[in-house]
Amino acid sequence: MSYLDKIDKAALPKHVAIIMDGNGRWAIQRRMPRLQGHRNAVKAVRACVEASAELGLQVLTLYAFSTENWQRPRKEVSALMDLFFEFLEKELHTMLDNNVRFQLIGNREGLPDFLQNRLSHTLDSTAANTGLLLNLALNYGGRDEMVRAVRRIAESVKKGDLLPENIDESLVSANTYTAGQPDPDLIIRTSGELRLSNFLIWQAAYAEFYFTEVLWPDFTKEDLYKALLEFQHRKRRMGRTTDSGSMTEAANVSHLVSKTEVTSILKTSG
């Protein structure tokens, strides 16, 4: 029986987010230029978009380019911008065929004009679609997102439109890039790294994390199904507990868990 056959379609996460990591290492292992790893990653993106749409997920967020990635060599950054343009141009039919609505999360103004124009075209072309919402995180950073949200809220206070005591979690969420969307239930990171890397730091408060050694260009639909199945086997308490004694017990022993043990637990989850 395949992983897909084991998945409970009635208990799927609403929002899956993926840190697509390992493109460079994939290329280096094969003695190829790093850019070839990024090019080969497109098929993994296509597979995940198609699988997510077929399963009926509400939101899929893909972390493609962070605010820190500008520090990479200029040649690589330039090639990535061209690749994003090419991806949006060639994969538009995949989005349309699968009723996918596209959305950008990140600082659009920092991107090249030619890419901004292609983003606008993709947004407009898929705006009427009613299926999967695909968030592409470009020039995105979780801390940058929070700074921008705080600035917008502060401006409302400055204008007298908002009282400080009326600022709450829902207001902060309404000023993020993902306003109106469900928070991610599951965050997947490929390549074996055990970091969040400044990704959805506000929205990830109660997300489940799944780490896999698979490098992103090798990630398939089956790998996604495996992650979803693992998610369905976990108990999400969202800060609550069903055992009145477990909270006290956790408080008594939590300080005994070492960094090594935590890392071991995280690796086991992948």
What residue ranges do the domains of the chain occupy? Answer: 14-141+184-236+255-269
Report long-range pairs for 109-116 (Cβ below 8 Å, ≥24 apart).
110/67, 110/139, 111/81, 111/138, 111/139, 112/81, 114/81, 114/85, 115/81, 115/84, 115/85
Q: What is the pLDDT along the chain (270 residues), one digit of tens a residue?
A: 788 999 999 999 999 999 999 999 999 999 999 999 999 999 999 999 999 999 999 999 999 999 999 999 999 999 999 999 999 999 999 999 999 999 999 999 999 999 999 999 999 999 999 999 999 999 999 999 999 999 999 999 999 999 999 999 999 999 999 999 999 999 999 999 999 999 999 999 999 999 999 999 999 999 999 999 999 999 877 766 655 444 433 333 333 333 344 444 444 444
30 annotated as ligand-binding: no
70 annotated as ligand-binding: yes
Given 5, 69, 97, 166, the catalytic residue: 69
180 annotated as ligand-binding: no
23 annotated as ligand-binding: yes
Radius of gyration for the alpha carbons in the chain, expressed in angstroms and rounded: 20
Given 21, 183, 185, 223, the catalytic residue: 21
34 annotated as ligand-binding: yes
> What's the burial of 230, exposed, middle or buried (CB within 10 Å: 0-12/13-18/19+)?
middle
Interstrand relation of 101-105 and 15-19 (parallel, antiparallel or unpaired): unpaired
Question: Hey, which CATH number is domain 14-141+184-236+255-269, 3.40.50.261, 3.50.50.60, 3.40.50.720, 3.40.1180.10?
Answer: 3.40.1180.10
68 annotated as ligand-binding: yes
Q: How far apart are CA 116 and CA 110, in angstroms?
A: 9
Question: For position 247, what pLDDT does the model report?
Answer: 42
- Which tokens go with 118? 């292609």
**69 catalytically annotated:** yes
pTM of the model: 0.87
38 annotated as ligand-binding: yes
Question: For position 261, what pLDDT does the model report?
Answer: 43
- Among 116, 109, 105, smallest CA distance to 177 is for 105
Question: For position 241, what pLDDT does the model report?
Answer: 63
